Amino acid sequence: MQAQLDRVLDVLAGRPLVALTGAGLSTDSGIPDYRGPGSPLRRPMTYGEFVSGPVAQRRYWARSHIGWARMRRATPNPGHRALAVLEERGTLRGLITQNVDGLHEEAGSRDVIDLHGRISDVICLSCKEITSRAVLQERFEEANPGFAASVGPEIETAPDGDVLLERTEHFRLVPCLRCGGALKPDVVFFGENVPRERVERSYALVDGLVGGGALLVAGSSLTVMSGLRFVKHAAKHGVPVVIVNRGETRGDPHAVLRVHAGTSEVLSALAGADGAAVDATRIPEWRDLAP
24-82 pLDDT per residue, tens: 999 999 887 755 555 445 567 899 999 999 999 999 999 888 888 777 889 999 999 99
Domain match, 87 and 69 both: no
pLDDT at 156: 59
Domain match, 91 and 203 both: yes
Burial of 234 (0-12, 13-18, 19+ CB in 10 A): buried
To the question of whether residue 101 is assigned a binding role by annotation, the answer is yes
| DSSP bridge partners of 243 | 217, 258
Domain match, 231 and 89 both: yes
Domain match, 177 and 249 both: no
Distance, CA of 41 to CA of 54 (rounded, Å): 26
To the question of whether residue 32 is assigned a binding role by annotation, the answer is yes
Total domain count, the chain: 2
To the question of whether residue 27 is assigned a binding role by annotation, the answer is yes
Mean pLDDT of the chain, nearest integer: 87
254 as an active site residue: the answer is no
Distance, CA of 171 to CA of 150 (rounded, Å): 12
Among the candidates 187, 216, 241, a domain finishes at 187
Q: How confident is the model at residue 287 (pLDDT cuts 50, 70, 90)?
A: very low
Q: Which of 20, 25, 29, 248 is nearest to 157 (CA)?
A: 29
Q: Do the beta carbons of residue 221 and residue 245 sit within 8 Å? A: yes
The answer for residues whose C-beta is within 8 angstroms of residue 143's C-beta and 6 or more apart is 172, 173, 174
Least confident of 32-46, 99-113, 234-248: 32-46
Among the candidates 145, 170, 187, a domain finishes at 187
pLDDT at 255: 97
Domain match, 126 and 95 both: no
- 285 pLDDT higher than 50: no
Question: What sections of the chain are H helices per DSSP?
Answer: 2-12, 47-50, 54-71, 78-89, 103-107, 133-143, 196-207, 225-236, 263-272
- The residue among 42 and 87 whose pLDDT is bigger is 87
Return the number of other C-beta atoms located less than 10 Å from residue 60's C-beta. Answer: 22
- The residue among 231 and 73 whose pLDDT is bigger is 231
Domain that holds residue 89: 1-31+77-116+193-291
To the question of whether residue 282 is assigned a binding role by annotation, the answer is no
Q: How confident is the model at residue 147 (pLDDT cuts 50, 70, 90)?
A: confident
- The residue among 176 and 9 whose pLDDT is bigger is 176
- 284 pLDDT higher than 50: no
- The residue among 34 and 177 whose pLDDT is bigger is 177
Of 80, 104, 116, 254, the active-site residue reads 116
- 132 pLDDT higher than 90: yes
